[in-house]
Amino acid sequence: MTKKSNVFYFIPYTFWLLLFVVAPLVLIVYQSFFTVDGQFTLDNYQAYFQSGTYLRMTLNSFWYAFLITLFTLLISYPTAYLLNKTKHKQLWLLLIILPTWINLLLKAYAFIGIFSANGTVNDFLAFVGIGRQQILFTDFSFLAVATYIEIPFMILPIFNALEEMNPSFIRASRDLGANNFETFRRVIFPLTLTGVKSGVQAVFIPSLSLFMLTRLIGGNRVITLGTAIEQHFLVTQNWGMGSTIGVVLIIAMILIMLFTGEKKKKGVAHK
Amino acid sequence: MKKLISMILAILLICAGLYIGADQLEKAKGITGENSLNLYNWGDYIDPELITKFEDETGYRVTYETFDSNEAMYTKIEQGGTNYDLAVPSEYMIERMIDEDLLIELDHSKIKGLANIDAQFLNQSFDPSNQFSIPYFWGTLGIIYNDKFVEEDAIQHWDDLWNPELKNEVMLIDGAREIIGLALDSEGNSLNSKEDDQLAAAAKKLSGLTPNVKAIVADEIKMYMIQEEASVAVTFSGEASEMLYENENLHYVIPSEGSNLWFDNFVIPKTAKNFEAAYAFINFMLEPENAAQNAEYVGYSTPNKEAMKILPAEITEDEQFYPNEETMKNLEVYEDLGSKYIGVYNDYFLEFKMHRK
Amino acid sequence: MKKQRFKWSNLYLIFIFIVLYAPIAFLIFYSFNDGGTMTSFTGFTLDNYAAVFEDTRLIGIVLNTLLVALLSSLIATTIGTFGAIGIYFVKKRETRNAVLSFNNILLVSPDVIIGASFLILFTFIGFRLGFVSVLLSHVAFSIPIVVLMVLPKLQEMNDTMIKAARDLGANTWQVLLKVILPSITPGILAGYFMAFTYSLDDFAVTFFVTGNGFTTLAVEIYSRARQGVSLEINALSALMFVFALILVIGYYFIQQHNMTKKQKNKKRQHAEAVSMR
Binary contact (B66, C224; C-beta < 8 A): yes
B143: β partners: B234, B253
Nearest CB to B8; choose among C66, C74, C220: C74
Range of the domain at B267: 34-138+263-316
pLDDT reading at B284 higher than 60: yes
Backbone angles phi, psi at B256, to 5 degrees: -75, -15
Residue A85 has a CB neighbour count (10 Å cut-off) of: 16
b/e map A61-83, b = 16+ CB within 10 Å: bbebbebbbebbbebbbebbbbb
**Is some CB atom of chain A closer than 8 A to the CB atom of B13?**
no
Q: Which CATH class name applies to C56-231?
A: mainly alpha
> Is residue B11 a part of any domain in this protein?
no
Q: What is the average pLDDT across A206-232?
A: 82
Q: Which residues of A touch B214 (CB under 8 A)?
A: 137, 219
Q: What single string gives the DSSP state of each residue in B116-149?
A: GB-GGGSS-TTSGGGSSEEEEEEEEEEEEEETTT
- pLDDT given for residue C223 in this prediction: 78
Q: What stretch of H or E contains B171?
A: strand B170-173
| B217 in Cβ contact with A216 (< 8 Å) | yes
Q: Is A203 on the interface with C (CB under 8 A)?
A: no
Interchain proximity B223–C123, CB inside 8 Å: no
What CATH number does residue B84 fall under? 3.40.190.10
| The CA-based dihedral angle spanning residues A103, A105, A110, A116, taken in that order and rounded to the nearest 10 degrees | 170
Model pLDDT for residues B19-37, shown as the tens digit of each residue: 888 888 877 766 666 788 9
For chain A, give every domain's residue range: 56-260
Q: How far is A203 from chain C (nearest CA, A)?
A: 10
Do residue A116 and residue B229 have CB atoms under 8 angstroms apart?
Answer: yes
Residue of C20, C221, C233 with shortest CB distance to A99:
C20
What is the ipTM, given to two decimal places? 0.84
* CB-count burial class (<10 Å; 0-12, 13-18, 19+) for B330: middle
C132 touches chain B (CB under 8 A): no
Radius of gyration, CA atoms only, chain B: 23
Total tally of structural domains belonging to chain B? 2
Q: Would the CB atoms of A216 and B174 count as touching at under 8 Å?
A: no
The residues that bridge with B252 in the sheet, in sequence order, are B144
B218 and B338 assigned to the same domain = yes
Q: How many CA atoms lie within 13 A of B324 on its CB side?
A: 4
Contact B68 C226 (CB under 8 A): yes
| B181 and B241 inside one domain | yes
Asked if the Cβ–Cβ distance from C89 to A106 is below 8 Å, we say no
Q: What integer best gives the mean pLDDT of chain C?
A: 83
Among A194, A197, A178, A189, CA closest to A268: A194
Inspect the interface and report whether the beta carbons of C67 and B222 lie closer than 8 Å.
no
Whether the CA torsion B123, B235, B347, A145 is positive or negative: it is negative
pLDDT digits (tens, 9 = 90+) for B41-78: 987 789 989 999 999 999 999 988 888 788 888 988 98
> Would B9 be classed as within a structural domain?
no
Q: How far is CA C98 from CA B243, B334, C83, in A?
A: 53, 48, 14
- Give the homologous superfamily in CATH for domain A56-260: MetI-like (1.10.3720.10)
Nearest to C108 among A152, A233, A250 (CB): A250
pLDDT value, residue B137: 95
Looking at the fold, whether B157 and B235 belong to one and the same domain comes out as: yes
Mean pLDDT of chain B: 90
- pLDDT tens digits, residue range B293-329? 999 988 889 999 999 999 999 889 998 999 998 899 9
Half-sphere exposure of B310 (CA within 13 A, CB side): 17
Same domain, B216 and B83: no
Query: Looking at chain C, how many residues does it have?
Result: 277
Q: Is pLDDT of C173 > 60?
A: yes
Other chains touching C, judged by 3 or more CB pairs under 8 Å: A, B
Q: Are B349 and B255 found together in one domain?
A: yes
B81 with C63: Cβ contact below 8 A:
no
